Homo-oligomer: A and B are copies of this chain.
Amino acid sequence: MPTAPLSRETLLPRLAAHVLEHGLGGASLRPLARAAGTSDRMLIYHFGNKETLIADLLGYIADIYSAALDAALGPQRPQTRQECLARILAEGRKPAMAAFLVLWWDIVAGSARGLPGYREAAHAMMARQLAWLEGQMPEDDPDPSGGARYMMTLIEGALMLSAVGHEDTALQGLLASGLLRL
């Protein structure tokens, strides 16, 4: 049985799985290497240094996030903004999304602090989500661009409030917006 060749491309999926589970903050070379079935020595060999590894990893995670959004596209568009929001909230409640969200706040924090690679990855992921959301807007919506950005702002605010235990505040905020019906 030949051992699979190791390269950036074969390593990144396993590294991504590890940070999705354990976060970016405490991600150090030796645990990452163990999760990827190799050694810290080889991670440095393939990526040059840890900073590049993390930047590449963030780029890869942005890519698989895009792919997940593509896969989530339903066959037909919602007919109202309310329906659109309901779909998105349902999407965000999927269990696979939970790990992603925890990692997401790591990325936002790194972006706000200016860590190399974080802002680019976060920006790309949001841009992708915005494009996806625009594609999900009702066909007869009077202002799909503004509407998508409005919903985006609301959704991200609700997610943040939920992350700090203010699910109720988020829920009432969405209700008061008129975009959510119980």
Contact = CB atoms under 8 A, between A and B. Distances in A.
Contacts of A154: 153-154, 157, 173
Contacts of A108: 105, 108-109, 160, 163-164
Tell me if A's interface is mostly helix, strand, loop or mixed: helix
A10 to B, nearest CB: 28
Interface in A114-138: 119, 122-123, 125-127, 130
Contact of A105 (B109, B150, B161): B109
A164 B152 CA distance: 13
Given A122-B165, A123-B166, A149-B173, 20 more contacts: A101-B112, A102-B113, A105-B109, A108-B109, A108-B164, A111-B163, A123-B164, A125-B164, A126-B164, A146-B173, A146-B175, A146-B176, A150-B172, A150-B174, A150-B176, A153-B157, A153-B161, A153-B169, A153-B177, A156-B160
